[in-house]
């Protein structure tokens, strides 16, 4: 296991990681894969309703649930995926596995995405390999430092909370990220319902909707900006 983390089994049987220095888990203890797919699905549905390919900005690669869930559930064209992650070992570990290195941990993540989505694991992994091979999937560091290669129309905002990543949850950093990474017509999905996040999104023309949260969370945020 990666230094500084410990593996935790969530209630739907899927694994997540806990950051030891803060005690915070990457996903809801109620279910890592279930939470991820619950948060993502409205974004996929909106893109399909708008007849758009996906240009995904994933803030917080973590252990790859968002990206693998996209491979499984988004049936239209994948135009671009930008996966942001500040922890280099998380990027290299996931990339090594995608490139064929053995990892029981990532195999387990994939198998749970497969079981929850009803899509064969081999098909998900094959689509991931083709997306990388086509140059459509980039792995990047901090959203505060990296410049976008193209604006994205779906943002999965899944960093650690302000307790563990306070620099990502300021008005300045959120506003800068939206200006630099969000397409004029885009959707934002996140586990968070922070008032500050809602206020910043609204100031940039997003219509915000509070939906039922997953697990123990009361609410989560969905935000859409249309031209």
- Starting at the edge strand found earlier in the chain, the sheet holding 15-19 runs 5-9, 15-19, 24-25
Q: Is residue 218 part of a domain?
A: yes
Q: Is residue 102 part of a domain?
A: yes
Q: For residue 95, what pLDDT band results from cuts at 50, 70 and 90?
A: very high
Q: Which two tokens stand for residue 147?
A: 């410049």
Check which CATH number belongs to the domain holding 64 and give it: 3.40.50.150
Q: Is residue 178 part of a domain?
A: yes
Task: State yes or no: pLDDT of 137 exceeds 90.
Answer: yes
Q: Is residue 180 part of a domain?
A: yes
In order, the DSSP letters of 48-111 are HHTT--EEEEEE--TTSHHHHHHHHH--S-EEEEEEE-S-HHHHHHHHHHHTT---HHHHHHHH
Task: State yes or no: pLDDT of 164 exceeds 90.
Answer: no
Total tally of structural domains belonging to the chain: 1
CA distance linking residue 80 with residue 62, whole number of Å: 18
Residue-range definition of the domain harbouring residue 167:
29-225
User: What pTM was computed for the model?
Assistant: 0.96
What is the pLDDT at residue 192? Answer: 96
Q: Is residue 85 part of a domain?
A: yes
166: which residues sit within 8 A by CB, 6+ positions away? none
Among 166, 223, 226, 227, CA closest to 200: 223
Q: For residue 148, what pLDDT band results from cuts at 50, 70 and 90?
A: confident
Cβ pair 30, 214 in contact under 8 A: yes
Q: Is residue 89 part of a domain?
A: yes
Within its chain, how far is the Cα of 200 from the centroid?
Answer: 20
Q: Is residue 82 part of a domain?
A: yes
- Cα distances (angstroms) measured from residue 85 to each of 91, 111, 114, 147: 7, 22, 23, 14
What is the pLDDT at residue 1? Answer: 63
Q: Is residue 2 part of a domain?
A: no
* 87: exposed, middle or buried (Cβ count in 10 Å: 0-12, 13-18, 19+): middle
Instruction: Give me the mean pLDDT over the 84-88 stretch.
Output: 94
Q: What region does 25 belong to: left with phi over 0, alpha with psi -120 to 50, or beta? A: beta
Q: Which two tokens stand for residue 197?
A: 């996040």
């Amino acid at each position: 296991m990666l230094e500084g983390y410990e593996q935790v089994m969530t209630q739907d049987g899927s694994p997540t990681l806990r950051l030891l220095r803060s005690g915070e888990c990457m996903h809801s203890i109620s279910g890592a894969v279930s939470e991820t797919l619950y948060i993502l699905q409205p974004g996929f549905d909106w893109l399909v309703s708008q007849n758009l390919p996906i240009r995904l900005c994933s803030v917080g690669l973590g252990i790859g649930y968002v990206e693998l869930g996209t491979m499984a559930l988004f049936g239209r064209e994948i135009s671009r995926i930008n996966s942001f992650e500040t922890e280099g070992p998380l990027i290299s570990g996931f990339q090594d596995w995608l490139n064929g290195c053995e990892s029981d941990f990532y195999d387990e993540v994939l198998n749970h995405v497969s079981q929850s989505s009803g899509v064969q694991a081999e098909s998900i992994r094959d689509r991931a390999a083709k997306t990388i091979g086509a140059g459509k999937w980039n792995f990047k560091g901090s959203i505060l430092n990296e410049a976008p290669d193209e604006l994205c129309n779906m943002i999965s905002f899944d960093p650690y909370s302000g307790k563990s990543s306070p620099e990502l949850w300021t008005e300045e950093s959120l506003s800068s990220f939206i200006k630099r990474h969000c397409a004029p017509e885009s959707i934002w999905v996140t586990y968070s319902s922070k008032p500050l996040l809602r206020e910043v999104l609204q100031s940039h023309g997003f219509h915000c909707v509070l939906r039922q949260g997953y697990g123990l969370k009361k609410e989560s945020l969905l935000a859409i900006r249309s031209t």
